[in-house]
Structures are given as C-alpha cells and as structure tokens.
C-alpha cells in the first residue's frame, strides 16, 4: 500500500473528486479525516470506507470559509490519529461565469473565502506540524481555470490563479524543510460542482463555452484521485511547487 500509516485530511470529501481521493487514500492504507459541509454525504463515504472496505476514516463537519472549522479539522486529525502527513485542499465552488463587469462583491467574497482563503488557512495550520517532523505533503485542487482566462467566470478564475500562486510559493519556501506542496488542475470532471453554479451569466457562459467545446471528454473523479495519490506518495518525492494538469489534453490546444 502506498500510504500505509499516513494521516490525511481531505476537504470537500462528501462528493466528486474529494470523495474519490478519500476513498483511494483509505484503500492505500491512510487514516483519513473527511471534511465537508455536507454531513449526510460525508457519513455515506465514511460508512463505505470503514464498513464496506475495512479502512479507517472519520467525518468532520467543516465550512472551509470558517477559521474555527479549519482549526478543528486539523486538530481532529492530530487528536484522533496522532499527526498529520497529507493535507488535500479540495473543497471548492464555481461562479456563474460572470465577466468582471457583472461581479457582485458578495459572490467575489464567497468564492475567495471558500476557494482561496480556506486553502491558505488550512496550510497555515498544517505547516507547524510538518515543520516539527520535517515532513508533510500538501495538495491543492486548483483548476485549468487557474491558468486559463477562458474556462469559467472572472471570480472563479482569479480564485484558482491565487491557489496556484499560493501553491508555488509554499513549495518554494519550505522546499528544504521536507515539505512538498503541489496543485492539481483538473479539466472538466463529472462531479456535482454544477450545483454551485447559480444565476448563470449567459454572456460569460457563451464565451467560456468556446473553449469548453474543444475539451476532448469529461473526466471521472477516480482519474483525478490517481494524480492525488501520486502527489501524496513518495513516488513524487522530487515533484514540488508545481501544477499537474489532468484534463485529457484539453489545454494542450491552447
């Protein structure tokens, strides 16, 4: 098993890619803390991991935009399983494809609180634990919208560009401290992310649709989880401060 004895925290673990990552990590021997707003969804995933597959997992209700919830999430890993080895910041929400002329302050703040500030806070909380043992891995789910201007609205794109900036800086800063930090940039993946797309902006969606039309296919969450397993395991020991694009070749077109 590739993560035997490791302790992992995965946010957004009730659905989509977070669920697949948590399940795969548990299958590979990790003890996993699953964090999400969706308690019912979390319980189903924990039940699947523990009862049906004999893995070790615990659910924690977490709103990643709340500082106290982030503290509690990391503390739960340490209190339950003794430490933290792997942090996967995966929870995220979409905008409604709004171009900058149509952004509201409320939506901007919400997306940045969830997609970006939550990631920073979880990393900030994990770093002292990693520094003390000179070992730790961080994986942030960014997006191809984190380097393309044409895949979503301005707010989502900016929030994910920021996640890539945070990832690179963190990988660089702690490179000699035994800590690695990388991002995954998924292309279009079959998940429930559509439920977070509210009040779709027709103009923005049409513009973004031009590039979505050349995406070769929609990926499956399990295909992303395999990249997250590689980045969490020692197989990626020399991979740090970078972004792995997992998009079936979509952005190769640009």
Catalytic residue list: 156
Q: How far apart are the first and last CA of the chain?
A: 37
**Cα distance between residue 173 and residue 188, in whole Å:** 31
Host H or E run for residue 211: helix 202-212
**Cα distance between residue 151 and residue 156, in whole Å:** 9
When binding is defined by CB under 6 A, the residue of 9, 14, 122, 183 that contacts ligand NAD is: 14
Alpha helices in 28-117 (DSSP H): 39-47, 67-81, 105-111
**Cα distance between residue 189 and residue 143, in whole Å:** 10
Tokens matching residue 249? 């070749």
In the numeric block, the tokens 């901007």 are attached to 108
**Cα distance between residue 122 and residue 35, in whole Å:** 12
**Cα distance between residue 243 and residue 215, in whole Å:** 19
Residue 12 interacts with ligand NAD (CB under 6 A): yes or no: yes
Query: Candidates 6-14, 98-106, 208-216, 237-245 — which segment interacts with ligand NAD by CB under 6 A?
Result: 6-14
**Cα distance between residue 49 and residue 154, in whole Å:** 37
Residue 115 vs 201, nearer CB to ligand NAD: 115
Residue 188 interacts with ligand NAD (CB under 6 A): yes or no: yes
SS3 178: coil
Interface pattern 65-104 for ligand NAD (x via CB under 6 A):
x------------------------xxxx-----------
**In this structure, what DSSP letter does residue 190 have?**
S
Residue 7 vs 34, nearer CB to ligand NAD: 34
When binding is defined by CB under 6 A, the residue of 3, 9, 16, 60 that contacts ligand NAD is: 16
Task: Report 195-254 residues binding ligand NAD (CB under 6 A).
Answer: none
Residue 50 vs 63, nearer CB to ligand NAD: 63
Task: Report 28-47 residues binding ligand NAD (CB under 6 A).
Answer: 36-38, 41
Residue 64 interacts with ligand NAD (CB under 6 A): yes or no: yes
When binding is defined by CB under 6 A, the residue of 8, 15, 123, 139 that contacts ligand NAD is: 15
Min CB(121)–ligand NAD separation in Å: 12
Q: What residue ranges bind ligand NAD (CB under 6 A)?
A: 11-12, 14-18, 36-38, 41, 62-65, 90-93, 114, 141, 143, 186, 188-189, 191-193
């Amino acid at each position: 098993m590739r993560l035997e004895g490791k302790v992992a925290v995965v946010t957004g673990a009730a659905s989509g890619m977070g669920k697949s990552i948590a399940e795969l990590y548990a299958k590979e021997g990790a003890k996993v803390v699953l964090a999400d707003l969706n308690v019912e969804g979390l319980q189903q995933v924990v039940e699947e991991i523990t009862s049906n597959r004999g893995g070790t997992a615990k659910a924690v209700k977490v709103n990643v935009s709340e500082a106290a919830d982030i503290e509690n999430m990391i503390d739960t890993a340490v209190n339950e399983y003794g430490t933290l080895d792997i942090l996967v910041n995966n929870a995220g929400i979409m905008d409604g494809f709004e171009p900058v002329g149509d952004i509201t302050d409320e939506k901007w703040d919400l997306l940045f609180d969830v997609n970006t500030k939550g990631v920073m806070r979880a990393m900030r909380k994990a770093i002292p634990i990693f520094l003390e043992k000179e070992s730790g891995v961080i994986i942030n789910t960014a997006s191809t919208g984190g380097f393309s201007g044409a895949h979503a609205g301005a707010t989502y794109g900016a929030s994910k560009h920021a996640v890539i900036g945070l990832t690179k800086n963190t990988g660089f800063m702690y490179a000699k401290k035994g800590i690695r930090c990388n991002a995954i940039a998924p292309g279009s993946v079959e998940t429930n992310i559509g439920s977070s797309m509210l009040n779709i902006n027709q103009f923005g969606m049409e513009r973004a649709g031009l590039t979505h039309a050349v995406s070769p296919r929609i990926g499956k969450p399990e295909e992303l989880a395999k990249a997250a397993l590689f980045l969490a395991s020692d197989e990626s020991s020399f991979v740090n401060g970078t972004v792995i694009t997992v998009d079936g070749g979509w952005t190769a077109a640009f």
